Amino acid sequence: MIAVLILSAALAAEPAGGPVSTRDGLIREATDWLLNGESLPRDIDERLMRLPPADRIEVLIFLRRSGMLIGPGWTIDRLLAPAKPTGNQARGAQE
């Protein structure tokens, strides 16, 4: 009974809407894709590059261990590159 209440509260607290660009948000989305039998979206590299390097590495580890990310590894330069600003952040910096 208590577990149901905690689960419903956690689900109600989740943000709704478009792509999430945080470490926890990407891991949550990747878990949903995995459970639904979906593959990674085409823009996953771009979304990962928006994260700070430490968060990017954690998400990449999750994707590799879950079996969703296959293929060649990332170079150290890409892993440690600074986070790229999102569209809204880039526009705000120009103003």
User: In this predicted model, what pLDDT tens digit does every residue of 30-77 receive, in sequence order?
Assistant: 999 999 999 999 999 999 999 999 999 999 999 999 999 998 899 999
Query: Which pTM does this prediction carry?
Result: 0.71
Confidence class of residue 1 from pLDDT cuts 50, 70 and 90?
A: low
Amino acid at 64: R
For residues 64 and 62, give the distance between their C-alpha atoms in angstroms, rounded to a whole number: 6
Per-residue pLDDT at 24 exceeds 80: yes
Higher-confidence residue of 88 and 5: namely 88
Rg (CA), the chain: 15
* The token pair that represents 43 in the structure block: 């823009």
Q: Which has the higher per-residue pLDDT, 34 or 11?
A: 34
**Rounded to an integer, what distance in angstroms lies between the CA atom of residue 12 and that of residue 16?**
9
